[in-house]
Amino acid sequence: MVKYLLDTNVLIECLRRNTKITETVLAKGKGHDLAISSVTYGELMVGMLKNDTPRRRAALSKVLAPMQTLPFDDGAAAKFAKIKFALEKEGKVIGPYDMQIAAHAIWSGRCLVTHNTGEFSRIHSLKWEDWESHDGA
């Protein structure tokens, strides 16, 4: 069974009712272990604070129902430090939340599902798939 960590942008597309990505998440996730990082959960909560409605809360609950939220722990933080150091050394730094989410995927032994392939492809040890374009690395 493949273990997946879903990036924030995948969940946002589900909330926007992007039928293609929602169906892909449901189909590919069936029988697999789906999770999100607590970093992703925080990003989603910021979005809810900006536009909190009962419909959006219900939609978010439905999207997150088949997933667990993994806590960002010391191991993930140490992996984040290594990723940030390496990317700074190469002059290829990406956003801090993206580095944390990537670190969390690597630390937890999961394949990251994202559509932000330009940034995440800079992290050499990260396994990722793009379910929106059906490509992967």
Show pLDDT as tens, one digit a residue, over the chain (137 residues): 889 999 999 999 888 877 788 888 877 777 679 999 999 999 999 999 998 889 888 888 888 888 899 999 999 999 999 999 999 999 999 999 999 999 999 999 999 999 999 999 999 999 999 988 854 44
Query: What's the rounded Cα separation, in Å, for the pair 6 and 17?
Result: 16
What are the Cα distances from residue 112, in Å, to 48, 49, 91?
Answer: 23, 26, 23
Q: From 3.40.50.920, 3.40.50.2300, 3.90.1150.10, 3.40.50.1010, which CATH number describes the 3-136 domain?
A: 3.40.50.1010
Q: Which two tokens stand for residue 18?
A: 């992007």
User: What does the domain layout of the chain look like in residue ranges?
Assistant: 3-136
Q: What is the dihedral of CA 42, 46, 49, 54, to 10 degrees?
A: -60
